[in-house]
Amino acid sequence: MKNPAFQNPGDQYYMQEKRFLFPLIPDGPNVLLDLGCAAGQVGKALRESHKAAEIVGVEIFEPAAAEARKLYKEVHVGDIEDMKLGYDKYFDIVLCGDILEHLREPAKVLRQIHGWLKDGGRLVCSVPNIRYWKIWRALIFRGEWEYTGDGILDQTHLRFFTTKSFTRMIANASFEVERTDMRIHWGPKQLAFNRLTRGAFKEFLGYQILVSARKK
């Protein structure tokens, strides 16, 4: 689903590099599919980091896709849930940086991704973490569940995940989850709390879930 808050292809929303996903992507001349490629800055950074040799993109916002075409081998324009891409065991990596939470049936798209990947290929993805402490503080103590223009409660988010529910969905699509991580704004309070609890509540501190999974 396209976010109506962002209609300019030069908006920062479309210019993100998402380097937080790069540690999950192996080095090498990978053939990569970038779902929700925006203006192509992710692919540009991947090439510069020697993590991709050939990149194909999918983007719902045509003006942003036009920018990505300058950097990618090919960019398909449209809603990934309504498209049929003719790739069979073609990609080494499929990248879904904050995409699956926007879909009506993310599990169905994961099964399609499975077919696009080479044997042993990897899915690398991120989604917002609904267990983030600020979300539950607002819900429990203030009775608030208000959608916003961006962030975890982005008005275009159709699905919400915890690490457990997200990795279960990926495993059910015939992937083996290899690595999970959490993006956290580490401040003095977060560091002290995490140290005091020996990491037991790390998932409540993280606002984004990162996953790497291999095709079975």
The residue ranking higher by pLDDT, 1 or 173, is 173
pTM of the model: 0.91
State residue 186's pLDDT score: 81
Spatial CA neighbour of 101 closest among 139, 82, 129: 129
pLDDT for res 172: 98
Q: Please list, residue by residue across 141-169, b when 16 or more beta carbons sit within 10 angstroms of its beta carbon and e when fewer do.
A: eeeeeeeeeeebbbeebebbbebeebbeb
In the chain, the amino acid numbered 101 is E
Q: Which has the minimum average pLDDT: 1-15, 57-71, 93-107, 164-178? A: 1-15
Whether 3 has a pLDDT exceeding 70, the answer reads: no
Rounded to the nearest 10°, the torsion over CA 141, 3, 214, 25 is: -100
What is the sign of the dihedral through the CA atoms of 17, 18, 23 and 28? negative
Classify each residue of 1-18 as buried b or exposed e, where b means 16 or more C-beta atoms within 10 Å of its C-beta: eebeebeebeeebbeebb
The pLDDT confidence band at residue 112, using thresholds 50, 70 and 90, is very high
C-beta separation of 95 from 35 below 8 A: yes
Tell me the C-alpha distance between 16 and 1, whole Å: 18
Terminal C-alpha separation, the chain: 29
Count helices and strands (H / E) in the chain.
7, 7
Residue 4: pLDDT above 60?
no
- Mean pLDDT value of segment 181-193: 86
- pLDDT at residue 13 above 80? no
Q: What is the mean pLDDT of the chain?
A: 93
Give 90's pLDDT tier (boundaries 50, 70, 90).
very high
Q: What is the mean pLDDT of residues 204-213?
A: 96
Q: How confident is the model at residue 8 (pLDDT cuts 50, 70, 90)?
A: low
Query: The domain 12-215 belongs to what CATH superfamily?
Result: Vaccinia Virus protein VP39 (3.40.50.150)
- Rounded CA-CA distance 66/132 in Å is 35
